[in-house]
Amino acid sequence: MHPEIKKIQARVEKLSDKAATLRKQVAELSQRRDDLEIETERETENLAALTSTALRPAPMPSFVTKWCHEAGDVVNMPSVSGIYFLWRFYEGSYQIVYVGKSINLSQRVCASHNIIKPGDGISYLEFPESEINRVEHFYVFFYDPPLNGGGRGTISGTKRYFDDLVSINEASRQLGTTIVRARSALKAISANAIRKRGKECYRRSEIDAARSALDGR
């Protein structure tokens, strides 16, 4: 066989191998794209389900006077599903230092949780068992408790939701007015304040609507 023909055949084989590799990579990327689309759709549904209902703030706590294993049902926790909040004197004031969930709050807090100590506070909110996983993410974002590891709830949908929030200070700057007038303009369009890590915040779309209302005066 002529040497040139052999060279051409060798190049054809190499190109065929490369084509096969590229086809495999394309198939893998296509599968990854499908997976991401499914994940995005699921997170969007989760976010819509959560934002359709106003979440309640954590209630004020009942304080623990004894260790849990000594006191039994120290704060009369009910045997229901929900979210619980551990309060502790932290950086000069009582703050929420841990957010947890359970299908049985009483058992979880007093039988399984060994970080609770005298002087701590406990409060809770009841939620259906089907909601507690998603709701917990939101409360971790709201309060940023140090014992949760600094943002355990950063699922993509929740993060996008909170990234869309603007503090009242920043809102007043964007609206070119005082905080009092900015708050009044936001209330005039029925905007609802949302607490993000203790700060009064509003959605960007609400700020845009308030700006349009102010410009129209």
Residue 43, pLDDT > 80, answer no
Percent of the chain surpassing pLDDT 70: 73
Choose one of 152, 175, 198: the last residue of a domain.
152
Reduced to 3 states, what is the DSSP secondary structure of residue 206? helix
Highest mean pLDDT among 33-47, 82-96, 155-169, 189-203: 82-96
Query: Could you give the number of structural domains in the chain?
Result: 2
- Residue with tokens 């974002």, as numbered in its chain: 141
Query: In sequence order, what E strands does 50-205 have?
Result: 62-63, 82-90, 93-102, 121-126, 165-167, 194-196, 199-203
- Is 90 exceeded by the pLDDT of residue 83? yes
Average pLDDT of the segment spanning 177-185: 89
Question: Whole domain around residue 209: which residue ranges?
Answer: 164-215
CA distance 172 to 186: 10
Question: What CATH number should be reported for the domain holding residue 169?
Answer: 1.10.10.10
50 lies in some domain = no
Q: What is the pTM of this model?
A: 0.48
SS3 content of the chain, % helix, strand, coil (to 5): 55, 20, 30
CA-to-CA separations, 128 to 5, 59, 83, 134, 136, in angstroms, rounded: 73, 18, 10, 11, 12
pLDDT value of position 161: 52
Q: Among 152, 177, 196, give the residue marking a domain's end.
A: 152
Residue 41 lies in a domain: no
| Listed residue (196, 184, 191) closest to 206, CA to CA | 191
Domain membership flag for residue 51: no
Residue indicated by tokens 């949302």? 194
Confidence of residue 72 (pLDDT cuts 50, 70, 90): very low
Distance (Å, rounded) from C-alpha 65 to C-alpha 71? 8
Give the pLDDT mean for 1-8: 77
Q: Are residues 93 and 115 in the same domain?
A: yes
For residue 84, the domain's CATH number is 3.40.1440.10
Q: What percent of the chain has pLDDT over 90?
A: 6
DSSP letter string, 51-69: HTSPPPPPPPPEEP-S-HH
Range with the poorest average pLDDT among 63-72, 128-137, 188-197 = 63-72
The number of C-alpha atoms within 13 Å of 184 and in the hemisphere containing its C-beta is 6
211 and 129 in a common domain: no
Q: Are residues 82 and 111 in the same domain?
A: yes
188/157: higher pLDDT: 188
Within a domain: 4: no
Same domain for 168 and 112? no
Span 87-91, average pLDDT: 80
* Average pLDDT rounded to a whole number, residues 87-102: 84
For 54, other C-beta atoms within 10 Å of its C-beta total 7
Would residue 70 count as lying in a domain?
yes
Which of 152, 173, 193 is where one domain is finished? 152
Residue of higher predicted confidence among 187 and 191: 187
Q: Do 90 and 131 have their domain in common?
A: yes
State the pLDDT at residue 125: 93
